[in-house]
């Protein structure tokens, strides 16, 4: 079971990282606001993998501890924590040399949800009943 959840986390992390990179490029071409000093490709990939792997360990622990209700509790926690993390890019102070800092939340806030969306998107691939 741990192996399945671990690979679920890896696939979700890769999907979230790809979505973040694509969204970053789209946002740059739409607004011409460059935030690569604050949020670069490496940090987007690292954020995605860190969040999804922590989520995998928490999911494993909750499903072991709470059995059938573990998945429901995990989904609820993942959603609540994702919404709570929206405050991070809104409240961050950018360096003074960054142009158009008011556009940063428009880039970073949607990225907060990419790990959770990727997790829930690939969940059907990993939830086949074990017989």
pLDDT in tens, 14-26: 999 999 999 999 9
**Domain range spanning residue 113?**
2-123
Domain assignment of residue 128, yes or no: no
For all residues of the chain together, what is the average pLDDT? 92
Q: How far apart are CA 32 and CA 29, in angstroms?
A: 5
67's torsion region: left (phi>0), alpha (psi -120 to 50) or beta?
left
What total number of domains does the chain contain? 1
Domain assignment of residue 26, yes or no: yes
Identify the helix (H) or strand (E) that includes residue 70.
Answer: helix 70-84
53-94 confidence digits (pLDDT tens): 999 999 999 999 998 899 999 999 999 999 999 999 999 888
Domain assignment of residue 80, yes or no: yes
How much is the pLDDT for 131? 39
Q: What is the mean pLDDT of residues 87-110?
A: 89
Domain assignment of residue 53, yes or no: yes
Domain assignment of residue 75, yes or no: yes
What's 129's DSSP letter?
P
Domain assignment of residue 130, yes or no: no
How much is the pLDDT for 67? 86
Q: How far apart are CA 80 and CA 1, in angstroms?
A: 25
């Amino acid at each position: 079971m741990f192996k399945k959840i671990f690979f679920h986390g890896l696939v979700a992390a890769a999907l979230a990282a790809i979505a973040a990179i694509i969204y970053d490029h789209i946002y740059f071409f739409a607004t011409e606001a460059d935030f690569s000093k604050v949020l670069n490709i490496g940090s987007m990939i690292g954020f995605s993998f860190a969040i999804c792997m922590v989520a995998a360990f928490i999911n494993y622990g909750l499903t072991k501890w709470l059995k059938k209700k573990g998945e429901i509790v995990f989904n609820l926690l993942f959603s609540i924590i994702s919404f709570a993390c929206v405050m991070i890019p809104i409240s961050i102070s950018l360096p003074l040399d960054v142009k158009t800092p008011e556009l940063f939340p428009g880039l970073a806030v949607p990225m907060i949800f990419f790990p959770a969306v990727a997790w829930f998107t690939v969940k059907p691939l990993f939830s086949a009943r074990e017989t």
